[in-house]
Amino acid sequence: MSTTATKIDIRQFELPELEEWFKAKGQARFRAKQVYEWLWKKSAFTFEEMTNLSKDLRKELEEHFEINPITLDQVQHSRDGTIKSRFRLHDGHLMESVLIPVPEDNRFTVCVSCQVGCSLSCAFCATGLMERKRNLTAAEIYDQVVLVNKQCLETYDHPLTNIVYMGMGEPLLTYREVKKSIEMISSEAGLGMSPRRITVSTAGIAKMIKKLADDDLRVNLALSLHAADDVKRDKIMPINEHNNLEVLMESLKYFHQKTKNKISYEYIAFNDFNVTMQDARNLLKLCKHFPVRVNIIEYNSVEGLNFEKASEDRINDFAKFLRDNGVMITVRRSRGKDIDAACGQLANKDRD
């Protein structure tokens, strides 16, 4: 039998656990705080970077622990300035993040992933065609923000302004790691970014929406709605069978009452499916429960799927009806389509 000890990923430790480890080794507890700061505030990816620790202590840390940062595997640049990055994880899996720059609005957003693949199988989504390999750790989500922020500074001379959990995977199905990543991105012990600039997007898991409210993370919430009645939503989003619109509206009301944080509906406009005037009236009813913004999104074609985007005239008529009835609404034009970086297109595809 091998006696070789497996190294532990040090970023899985909370600060009190690190303090106990240092105490057991006869080291001062404040050393744990120094290491924790290097990991989460200074984004150190190696122990050698921790220059206020002695060489002997760094060597001991190296013997017992490992740091498993994500590494850049491929970068693609869109004609519109969007940048898609494919990252390799320590176990060889791949996932993607997208930098969406809107310089004229002083807005630079990273769309981060939380899973390798996805288990929800939404009928219109490229990621849904992939098998879910595993959840990302909080550190792997955090690393996306760190590396894309560096990319943003190098390319646009501006730091990230916003973070959206809208990449590969369902954030509320890997809740513990998503929660910790938000804490380390937003707390003073980490990157110190405002949670008000973080949006968590979900396909709709009612009990976890309530959990998000109870944990008071102060983030914004986006529901991937895409159809305003259960019959249509069942057809394109299997999760609706166990989280129907009535149940979801009740959980969103709870979230709003508990947090007063922003809620938005993401609504992809599909040709001949969900942009009739009846669909608009159904959606209007869902906007009456609490203050909500609706983001109408152009559908981005996915190879092998038979959906088409609605015409611009139909989208504009649909949006006008809602706007005339007092709904806050934005029609979002897709960005990064030419590099498969737009909404619903992330699938780890190789491109020249």
In angstroms, the CA 228 to CA 246 distance is 11
* Mean local confidence (pLDDT), 187-215: 97
Contact 161/36 with Cβ under 8 angstroms?
Answer: no
Kindly report the CATH number assigned to the domain that includes residue 261: 3.20.20.70
The SS3 call for residue 183 is helix
CB 296 within 8 A of CB 315: yes
pLDDT value at 247 more than 60: yes
Q: How far apart are CA 51 and CA 58, in angstroms?
A: 9
Give me 211's structure tokens. Answer: 């959990």
pLDDT (average), residues 243-251: 97
Residues with a known catalytic role: 96, 343
In this predicted structure, what is the pLDDT of residue 5? 62
pLDDT score of 341: 52
Per-residue pLDDT band at 4 (split at 50, 70, 90): very low
pLDDT band at residue 273, thresholds of 50, 70 and 90?
very high
Q: Cα dist. 131→24, 169, 240 in Å?
A: 42, 10, 20
Give the range of the structural domain holding residue 30, as residue numbers without chain letter: 8-66
Is 79 among the domain residues? Answer: no
The answer to whether residue 177 is domain-embedded is yes
Q: Is residue 332 over pLDDT 90?
A: no
Residue 214: pLDDT over 60:
yes
Does residue 288 share a domain with residue 205? yes
Radius of gyration of the chain (CA): 22
The average pLDDT across 205-221 equals 96
Average pLDDT, the chain: 92
Check whether residue 115 and residue 233 sit in a common domain: yes
Per cent of the chain over pLDDT 70 is: 93
Domain count within the chain: 2
Which residue reads 């176990």 in tokens?
A: 91
- Beta carbons within 10 angstroms of residue 164's beta carbon: 19
pLDDT tens column, 294-322: 999 988 877 777 888 999 999 999 999 99
**pLDDT-derived band at 201, boundaries 50, 70, 90:** very high
Indicate if 125 and 224 belong to the same structural domain: yes
119 token code pair: 């288990």
In a domain, 77, yes or no: no
Using the predicted structure, report yes or no on whether residue 65 has a pLDDT greater than 90: yes
- 286 has a pLDDT exceeding 90: yes
Q: Flag whether pLDDT at 352 surpasses 70.
A: no
Based on the fold, state whether residues 53 and 100 are members of the same structural domain.
no
Q: Band the pLDDT of 344: cuts 50, 70, 90.
A: very low
Same domain, 200 and 258: yes
- Asked if the structure places residue 214 within a domain, the reply is yes
Residues 166, 97: Cα–Cα separation, whole Å: 9
Kindly state whether residue 72 falls inside one of the protein's structural domains. Answer: no
What is the model's pLDDT at position 349?
53
Residues 233 and 307 in one domain: yes
pTM across the whole model: 0.92
User: What is the mean predicted confidence (pLDDT) over 136-150?
Assistant: 98
Residue 146 lies in a domain: yes
The closest of 90, 96, 48, 40 to 69, measured between CA atoms, is 90
Band (262; pLDDT cuts 50, 70, 90)? very high
How many Å apart are CA 323 and CA 287, to the nearest integer? Answer: 11
Task: For residues 210 and 259, state if they share a domain.
Answer: yes
What are the tokens at 138? 């909080």
* pLDDT interval class at 12 (50, 70, 90): very high
Residues 109 and 174 in one domain: yes
CATH number at residue 56: 1.10.150.530
What average pLDDT score do residues 122-137 get?
Answer: 85
Residue 150 in this model has a pLDDT that exceeds 90: yes
pLDDT number for residue 336: 58
Report DSSP letters for 41-86, one per residue: TS--SSGGG-TTS-HHHHHHHHHHEE----EEEEEEE-TTS-EEEE
- Whether 352 maps to a domain, the answer reads no
Q: For residue 14, what pLDDT is reported?
A: 95
Q: Check pLDDT > 80 for residue 117.
A: yes
Q: Which of 112-121, 221-230, 340-349 has the lowest mean pLDDT?
A: 340-349
Task: Note whether 25 and 92 are same-domain residues.
Answer: no
Same domain, 21 and 150: no
Residues 6+ apart with CB under 8 A from 317: 277
Task: Provide the pLDDT for residue 164.
Answer: 97
57, 99: one domain: no
Q: 22: which 2 tokens? A: 């240092």
Q: Determine, yes or no, domain membership for 287.
A: yes
Q: Which residue bears the tokens 């080794």?
A: 25
Instruction: Report the alpha-carbon distance of residue 307 to residue 324 in Å, rounded.
Output: 28
% pLDDT > 90, the chain = 83
Who has greater pLDDT, 42 or 131?
42
Q: What is the band of 96 on the pLDDT scale with cuts at 50, 70, 90?
A: very high
272-287: average pLDDT: 97
Rounded CA-CA distance 137/181 in Å is: 8
Regarding whether 333 and 203 lie in a shared domain, the answer is: yes
Mean pLDDT of 159-167: 96
Residue-level pLDDT at 324: 97
